[in-house]
Amino acid sequence: MPPKKRPAGDEGNGEEARKRPATATGGKSVSISTPGAPATKPGPTGAARPSPAGMRPGAVRGTPKPGVRKVGASALANRGGARLPGTATIKKEAPPPVVSKNTLMWFRNDLRVQDNRALIEASKRAQIDHDKKKYLFGLYIISEKEWASHDEAPIKIDFWMRNLEKLKESLRKLNIPLIVKRAGTKAEVVGLVESTIKDHGISHVFWNAEYMVDEKARDAKVKEALTKLPGTYVEEFDDQFVVPPSDMKTKIGEHFTSFTAFSTTWHNLVETNPKFLKLSESPSANPDTAQQLYAGFFSSIVPTLRHHTLDEEDVERLYPAGEDIAHKRLASFVEEKVKRYDISRDCLQEQDHQALSPYIVSGVISSRQCVAAARAANGNKIIIGNNGVKAWIKELVWRDFYRYIALAFPRVSKSHAFIAFTENLRYSNDDRKFQMWCQGKTGYPIVDAGMRQLNATGYMHSRVRNIAACFLVKDLLINWQRGERYFMNNLIDGDFPVNNGNWQWCASTGVEGQPYFRILNPLTQSQKFDPSGEYIRQWVPELKNLTDKQAHDPYHTMSAKDFGKLAYPKPIVDHTEAKKKYVDEFKRVLAQK
């Protein structure tokens, strides 16, 4: 059955609001407003307001701490030397000193040392008192129930743990201990962060922002708790957007709902302002004494969470862990493939055995680093130049766009279609057909090949994702949310905003969705993007001995007797009839709009 819908206007909150995936992003303060909530007000030129004592510009802090000095109106009036009538001259006082102790970097969806904005700022804070033997700690919280509520795939969680071990090794070389804790429930996260601060004399806590509904609510609770602790400061940074959402508004200050307009603004900003692709340096090392003082953390082992049923050797071969691996894959892609990306990206014969997406999604490499590398290969240009480079950068812009949409319009994170009236579509939700789709037994070879690749490897070619998604919704007339959830439950690169955005595009329910009458024909898609049938034969071995023509459509190109010998299912729907049924249903909903 599709996820239970909330009553109109019921936005819900926290975990109950979104029982599906989570993906993170990060950077300075977020100024995108959400329905029912006031927008963060920038300064006169869009700059951040003056930071409290001891905080860096651009950082976000929770509610002012008790004892922090607030500047009164008369004092503000006299800052520029002018004096308001009837006001006394007020002697300026120096801000109270910030007592700096140890520093904490809370890692979440940013499992890397290089180009990590919160980490480098945390390192700078720790270095202020380096001679006094103050230390930087890392923290990671394993929260399995929270991840399960967001449908994070077991293979993806395994990938996180393997990369967490690699991160721990990188931090050890810098004498930075990584504390790994486990939360039994999402609610326990607040207490775990708080206890870490108390146990290790932490005065400053840094993290990169996460923007989805549940994560924002969680972080708000953590900030509220920490700012009640005497002498504790929280700093939060934008990190996963290339262009932070606060910089992305239309000319009249509204949210973008058109990818074309969003992309144009994004490209112009990145092309003309070097700050968006400025990469952060690596953090400095702690004093050597940290190794002895915190030996237990350095010698501890990161838990393995291999709850998937896939072959472990295959998984580790396909997706080896480590920041160094991510950079090698990026360098190889930029050197060998990016300039042909516009031609090769949809060709199923050129399968990507060096996928970068799992590393980007899990923050093992930043999207900034990817854009910067592509730009360097294109003569330091992104608007003009090689078509392949431009096409790949555009894919990264889509990533920013779908994150932006999920932040600006949180309804899409709460089991709602972006286009509200499409929620009136009547789906058949045939459970038998849904299971056939999941298992790759629909009788449509290209769809079955994609689903079997997903089930065997945790990955699916991007072109086939669209074909399989469109088939589920428009041929089988099954709610797109069921397919969206199945993908998240199985993809190693499942990324909630992108997965949701792509499914809604295929279902014609999302921002800039595919027109309802444009329905991908699985046969013609197969013939166009896998002309030799190589991809089909790899994943549907029942068809490996067929001719190219037969491999695409065995039921209609073979005799009944020969087809019966294949042990392959006949098509579970007739595409022409299914297409008419879907179009008629969409027209019905349009007429009632």
Give the number of other Cβ atoms within 10 Å of residue 168's Cβ: 21
Strand partners, 27: 238
3-state secondary structure of 315: helix
90: Cα within 13 Å, side-chain hemisphere? 18
Chain centre to alpha carbon of residue 170: 23
How many angstroms separate the CA atoms of 94 and 92, rounded?
7
Count other C-beta atoms under 10 Å from residue 353's C-beta: 8
Q: Annotated binding site for FAD, which residues?
A: 341, 392, 395-402, 493-495
Q: Sheet of 102-107: strands edge to edge?
A: 178-182, 136-142, 102-107, 202-208, 233-237
Give the start-end residues of each E strand in 363-477.
none
Which residues are documented as binding site? 341, 392, 395-402, 493-495
User: Dihedral angle at the C-alpha atoms of 212, 215, 217, 218, nearest 10 degrees?
Assistant: 180
Quickly list DSSP for 245-309: GGG---TTSPPP--HHHHHHHHHHHHHH-GGGGPPPPPPPPPPTHHHHHTHHHHH--PPP-----
Report the 10 Å Cβ neighbour count for 444. Answer: 28
Q: Compute CA 5 distance to the chain's CA centroid, rounded to the nearest angstrom.
A: 24
- The amino acid that residue 18 corresponds to is R
Largest CA distance in the chain: 101
